[in-house]
């Protein structure tokens, strides 16, 4: 396994490219199951999670090849409808094949994802929605077994805003008979990107990006070509990197219009963020102001930026309060940040951060994707050396983050554990 070794203190200067969105690529890969023929996808990020969804699709008989960075996905011959435990356990977003399989193949057997480090993360709302559309759902031996004649349109109201729940049911509804209305739907940009992809395939979706999405089912869909939107969470992570190193960077292909809440909070914390088209100049200042944050579904402050923002606040000039409202256990990074000298106290789903002058390098361990990003950011700012083990968590969701940071001047190396 790899680890990252960072010597903190370097200011980040220069340009960095924002890669394609992981959380847009995953549902769009799954959506390719809805049609025969070859879908061509551009700007797909090179991530472990993309390899995993590729394995899940290949296991279903889907043909996938990459040509000069373009992913060609052909689901003409789906030979089986099972997503096995050994794949789903490595990436819960594999559940996104459930909706498309039931819609196109009329059946599916998908391993229950189980919990993960940040929470129980049930999929009850995905299943309730499919049942409302006429699917028969059984839970047997750790698997979801779904069967349906043709799905029928239904009005589905989500108790909780769920991103992949909205995506799964939106995909299923494209081939259902009649109209489906999703109420209290997720409004994330990745949901909109999926809807745009599906509409290019011939689906009839309206309202994506609002809380009410209407889908008029069609008989069949056609393959299409699509460019994945940039990753707003990677972009936000790179902005915080400039903040904690008092750097001055320019982000290329930055989805500014998807980042209002994050940019607002970073400006409140004293950073200068100047968009020019889809480039953004980001300047971190000596004085980081303490800011309170509460995570919310989009367009609120994203939970996927909570850990990174906490690192910035651990170096601010006062007291800040971060409240995590989406997941019940998304403060795993706190213990490791405390080992680097951060002054953070947890009360339930609230973290109280007393900023400190500086953090000190230490040996730490990554536990989940965004927690590992927050430790990298802390290492960039800390005095001395930080070693971050289990970097495979980072590689799930960031395309060569260490290389991008090194190009900006960070003293960061990837080495084999034990070296």
Q: Which parts of this chain interact with ligand EPZ (CB under 6 A)?
A: 22-23, 26, 93, 119, 121-126, 160, 162-165, 303-304, 326-327, 369-370, 397
Q: Which of 78, 116, 321, 356 is catalytic?
A: 116
Query: Long-range contact list for 111-115, CB < 8 A, 24+ apart?
Result: 111/83, 111/84, 111/85, 111/87, 111/142, 111/143, 111/144, 112/88, 112/139, 112/142, 112/143, 112/144, 113/88, 113/89, 114/89, 114/142
Both tokens of residue 385? 């050396």
Q: State the nearest-atom distance from the C-beta of 405 to ligand EPZ, in Å.
A: 19
Cα–Cα dist 299/308, whole Å: 18
Question: Can you give the length of the chain in residues?
Answer: 419
In terms of Cα–Cα distance, which of 174, 171, 112 is closest to 146? 112
d(CA 402, CA 395): 10
Q: How far is CA 124 from CA 88, 227, 244, 361, 408, in A?
A: 16, 31, 39, 42, 43
Query: 218, 202 in Cβ contact below 8 A?
Result: yes
Residue among 94 and 290 whose Cβ is closer to ligand EPZ? 94
ω into residue 268 within 30 of 0, thus cis?
A: no
Strand, helix or coil at 262? helix
CB of 414 to ligand EPZ, least distance (A): 21
Whether 116 sits among the annotated catalytic residues: the reply is yes
CB of 127 to ligand EPZ, least distance (A): 7
Nearer to ligand EPZ, 160 or 210 (CB): 160
Minimum CB distance to ligand EPZ smaller for 166 or for 316: 166
Q: Could you tell me the smallest distance in angstroms from the CB atom of residue 272 to ligand EPZ? A: 27
Cβ 190 to ligand EPZ shortest distance, Å? 6
DSSP-derived letter for residue 328 is T
Q: Which is nearer to ligand EPZ, 342 or 369 (CB)?
A: 369
Nearer to ligand EPZ, 98 or 215 (CB): 98
Active-site residue numbers? Answer: 116
């Amino acid at each position: 396994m790899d680890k990252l070794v960072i010597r903190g203190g370097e200011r980040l200067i220069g340009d960095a490219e924002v890669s394609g969105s992981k959380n847009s690529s995953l549902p769009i890969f799954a959506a390719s199951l809805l049609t025969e023929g070859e879908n061509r996808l551009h700007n797909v990020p090179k991530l472990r999670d993309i390899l995993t969804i590729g394995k899940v699709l290949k296991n279903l008989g889907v043909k996938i090849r990459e040509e000069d960075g373009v992913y060609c996905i052909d689901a003409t011959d789906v030979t089986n409808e099972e997503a096995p435990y050994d794949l789903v356990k490595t990436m819960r977003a594999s559940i996104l094949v459930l909706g498309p399989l039931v819609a196109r193949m009329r059946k599916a057997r998908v391993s229950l994802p189980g919990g993960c480090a940040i929470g129980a993360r049930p999929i009850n709302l995905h299943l309730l929605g499919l049942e409302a559309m006429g699917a028969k759902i059984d839970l047997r031996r750790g698997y979801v077994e779904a069967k349906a004649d043709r799905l029928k349109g239904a009005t589905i109201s989500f108790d909780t805003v769920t991103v992949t729940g909205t995506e799964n049911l939106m995909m299923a509804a494209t081939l259902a008979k009649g109209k489906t209305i999703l109420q209290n739907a997720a409004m994330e940009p990745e949901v909109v990107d999926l809807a745009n992809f599906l509409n290019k395939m011939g689906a009839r979706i309206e309202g994506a990006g609002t809380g009410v999405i209407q889908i008029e089912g069609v008989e069949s869909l056609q393959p299409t070509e699509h460019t994945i939107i940039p990753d707003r969470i990677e972009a936000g992570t790179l902005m915080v990197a400039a903040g904690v190193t008092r750097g001055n960077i320019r982000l290329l292909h930055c989805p500014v219009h998807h980042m209002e809440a994050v940019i607002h909070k970073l400006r409140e914390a004293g950073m200068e963020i100047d968009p020019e088209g889809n480039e953004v100049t980001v300047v971190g200042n000596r004085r980081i102001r303490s800011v309170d944050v509460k995570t919310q579904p989009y367009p609120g402050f994203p939970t996927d930026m909570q850990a990174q923002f906490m690192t910035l606040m651990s170096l601010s000039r006062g007291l800040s309060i971060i409240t995590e409202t989406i997941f019940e256990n998304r403060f795993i990074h706190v213990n490791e940040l405390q080992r680097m000298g951060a002054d953070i106290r947890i009360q339930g789903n609230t973290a109280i951060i007393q900023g400190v002058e500086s953090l000190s390098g230490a040996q730490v361990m990554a536990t989940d994707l965004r927690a590992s990003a927050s430790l990298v950011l802390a290492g960039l700012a800390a005095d001395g050396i930080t070693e971050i083990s289990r970097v495979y968590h980072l590689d799930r969701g960031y395309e060569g983050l260490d290389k991008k940071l090194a190009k900006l001047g960070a003293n960061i190396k990837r080495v084999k554990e034990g070296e």
